[in-house]
Structure 1
């Protein structure tokens, strides 16, 4: 078993998969962190900006922007799942078939 794990860890397809997936998840994480902390820092340091009314009504800009942050998280999750199904899973399946998992 350890021999198969060592062979898998040195397989160029596995190494490329780990690098590609790592870069992709890093980009998605950085995007989400920038948006989330940008929103939180805006709340902390410029409340008036988010307290402005949307078209003169009772709803402030903070509500739709906050919902936008949540929507972005859902979209980024969907993007990861789509890419994983399309790019990562076929490679993983081939490696599993070859190395037995």
Structure 2
């Protein structure tokens, strides 16, 4: 199979470009979700502070604390989603192409 690929370059393989495009679209999509969550939280702080200041559970803790923790956990979860997809789909496909080209 390597003899079929002599003179060819992985960087010019359309399958490689398609895989890079899919990975990039996925990463940008997750980034957009995280930005929407983060900026939504910041906008809530800027314009509806009263919502985040509401006490919860009859104590002194306000709603802003669990919502802020939720923003952090969303970032961790989205990172986990990316890592899972990369490990299951993107990395094996890249490895298969590298092996095909003897890299």
Relative to the length of structure 2, the TM-score reads 0.87
Question: Are 1:37 and 2:39 counterparts?
Answer: yes
Q: How much has 1:60 moved relative to structure 2?
A: 0.3
Task: Considering Cα pairs closer than 8 Å and 6+ residues apart, tell me whether 1 or 2 has the greater RCO.
Answer: 2
Structure 1 unaligned residues grouped into runs of 5+: none
Q: CA RMSD in A?
A: 1.5
Deviations 1:17-67 (A, max 9, x none): 111101101110000000001101111111111000112211100000000
Instruction: Give the match for residue 92 of structure 2.
Output: 90
- More helix by percentage: 1
Instruction: Give the match for residue 68 of structure 1.
Output: 70
Q: Which runs of 4+ in 1 moved over 6 A?
A: none
Say whether the 8 Å CA contact 2:10–2:98 is kept in structure 1.
no
Structure 2 unaligned residues grouped into runs of 5+: 1-5
Relative to the length of structure 1, the TM-score reads 0.88
- Structure number with larger C-alpha Rg: 2
